[in-house]
Amino acid sequence: LVDDGSAPDTYQNSSFCYPDVISKDEEDALLTDLKSRMKRSRYQKGHWDAVIINYKETELVEFDGSLSHTTLGILARIRSQLTEAHFGQSGDDKAIGSSRPVSWLPSHAIQLHAEGELNAHVDSVRFSGDLVAGLSLGSSCIMRLRPSLADEGGSEKPATDDAGYVDLLLRPRSLYALTGPSRYSFSHELLPHQAVFRPLNVTVDREDRFSIIFRDEKYES
């Protein structure tokens, strides 16, 4: 669900949220794999740029036999769905551009503690391309997009809601996608525990959550 009632004109309907892209059984299978991979890891207190606090992270290597066939199938299916929806020649406003070859960077998974933080940032453009997407598992949260106020060094300045914002309600088993302005010109962050998603008047109780991140490889024509 996307709340764009306070969106600035520069937003251009550039974020999407797809509910229930996997089944509950598939979510359980993914969580089993991810928890097994992360159980010996400690929560990290902070990323080097302070974007994310109190989290665990792992790259999902798909060719070393460490992931179940179910997980591998889900990752492949979601990449295929993202390619069709956002890189095809559908002619609708989801399409990033005309059909072009799409290569995917390795996915990575994040476990964010219930009291952890994901602060405002724009994902690096050094290697990744036109789309950032995430599969949410285990707990709901609200993602807020705001016009980026990054300085020349790439650090995001404190932002207010005065310039407009967009909220995405990320329920378990949903998939979000950031394209165009949302990918490049808006920061994204997770709101704290008990934030309210206004269209439904829903207070979101954040618990430990997992996410799997999908990024296409930067395209050089």
- The mean pLDDT of 70-97, rounded to a whole number, is 81
- Mean pLDDT of the chain, nearest integer: 89
Measured CA to CA, the distance from residue 175 to residue 214 in angstroms comes to 10
Contact by Cβ (8 Å): 21, 81? yes
Q: Identify the CA nearest to 35 among candidates 109, 135, 106.
A: 109
Q: Report pLDDT digits (tens) over 199-218.
A: 999 999 999 999 999 999 98
- The mean pLDDT of 139-147, rounded to a whole number, is 97
Q: Report pLDDT digits (tens) over 86-100.
A: 987 544 556 565 567
pTM: 0.91
- The mean pLDDT of 25-48, rounded to a whole number, is 90
Sequence-distant (6+) residues with CB within 8 A of 20 are: 173, 174
- Give the per-residue pLDDT at 45: 84
Residue 64 banded pLDDT, cuts 50, 70, 90: confident
Output the DSSP codes for the chain.
-EE-TT--GGGTT-EEEES-SS-HHHHHHHHHHHHHHHTTSPPBS--TTSSEEEEEEEE--SSSS-S-HHHHHHHHHHHHHHHHHHSS---STT--SS-----BPPPEEEEEEEEEEE-SB----SSEEEEEEEEEESS-EEEEEEE--B-TTSPBPP--GGG--EEEEE-TT-EEEE-HHHHHTEEEEEPPTTEEEGGGTEEE---SEEEEEEEEEPP--
Express as a percent the part of the chain with pLDDT over 90: 74
Measured CA to CA, the distance from residue 79 to residue 194 in angstroms comes to 32
Question: Count of alpha carbons within 13 Å of 95, Cβ hemisphere only?
Answer: 10
Of residues 46 and 131, more confidence is placed in 131
